[in-house]
């Protein structure tokens, strides 16, 4: 995978005059709402994009929609704001802040939020079997060590893609792994000076295919390409906005 186009766009964006605080806040709010909708929809949340926006911006309860779906929207929004804060401080990724992100994502489940699972799990539709619960801490330590090594050897997008695939393969929590993993992915992109990306619900099948490819080949090439394409689209969009404000 050639990441030079992403690198060039990142440099172009960095050279442009930034948006003012109000404009930036508006774009961040729009992204947070869309990201919350798509990430939750991938996991089966029934709120539409418009309903998600009403819940998050107006505090409206959507009739005939489960309370759980409302709480998932609020929790994801809060978790995104939390990772934005971590990214601004360049906080190193640790088990503690991963558990903190998960605790916000799973705000509707007081028994399991921010806690590694204690039972075996099977990922539906996948031949991959996550490690037994008594091996999770060991696998997470290896995950962090491998990520630090990958950042030295690979392009940052490829390293983040690999980290995401490996995190989801460990599947450390009983629920909320996908949402937490995608938030961590965006945390690492922002820390690297890149833009957060939004894996669309419409791309769910292609996204899951990346996990199958990883488990078959042991490489992150397919997901790294998908992630790079999303990043390129985001960079081009922001550059167009900034150039249009000149």
Kindly list the catalytic residues.
171
Token readout for 163 is 């980290």
Domain boundaries, the chain: 4-119+130-244
The pLDDT tens digits for 131-144 are 999 999 999 999 99
Provide the 8-state DSSP code for 55: I
**Contact in structure between 222 and 210 (CB atoms under 8 Å):** yes
The pLDDT tens digits for 34-69 are 999 999 999 999 999 999 999 999 999 999 999 999
Q: What is the dihedral of CA 130, 138, 217, 199, to 10 degrees?
A: 70
Q: 3-state SS of the chain: helix, strand, coil percent to 5?
A: 70, 0, 30
Q: What pLDDT sits at residue 87?
A: 97
Q: What pLDDT sits at residue 246?
A: 58
The pLDDT tens digits for 69-99 are 999 999 999 999 999 999 999 999 999 999 9
Token readout for 32 is 């947070």
CA distance 134 to 28: 39
In CATH, the number for domain 4-119+130-244 is 1.10.3290.10
pLDDT level of residue 126 (50, 70, 90 thresholds): confident
């Amino acid at each position: 995978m050639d990441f030079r186009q992403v690198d060039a766009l990142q440099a172009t964006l960095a050279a442009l005059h930034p948006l003012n605080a109000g404009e930036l806040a508006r774009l961040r709010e729009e992204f947070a709402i869309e990201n919350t909708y798509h990430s939750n929809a991938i996991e089966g949340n029934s709120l539409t994009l418009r309903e998600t926006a009403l819940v998050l911006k107006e505090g409206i309860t959507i009739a005939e929609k489960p309370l759980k779906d409302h709480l998932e929207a609020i929790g994801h929004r809060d978790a995104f704001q939390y990772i934005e804060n971590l990214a601004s401080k360049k906080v190193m990724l640790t088990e503690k802040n991963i558990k903190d992100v998960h605790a916000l994502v799973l705000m509707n489940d007081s028994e399991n939020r921010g806690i590694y699972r204690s039972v075996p799990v099977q990922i539906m539709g996948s031949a991959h079997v996550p490690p037994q619960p008594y091996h999770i801490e060991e696998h997470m330590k290896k995950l962090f060590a491998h990520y630090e090594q990958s950042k030295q050897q690979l392009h940052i997008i490829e390293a983040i893609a690999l980290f995401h695939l490996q995190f989801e393969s460990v599947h450390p929590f009983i629920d909320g792994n996908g949402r937490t993993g995608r938030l961590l992915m965006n945390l690492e992109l922002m820390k690297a000076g890149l833009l957060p990306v939004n894996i669309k619900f419409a791309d769910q099948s292609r996204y899951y295919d990346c996990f199958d490819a990883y488990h078959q080949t042991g490489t992150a090439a397919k997901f790294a390409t998908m992630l790079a394409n999303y990043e390129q689209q985001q960079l081009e969009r922001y550059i167009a906005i900034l150039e249009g404000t000149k």
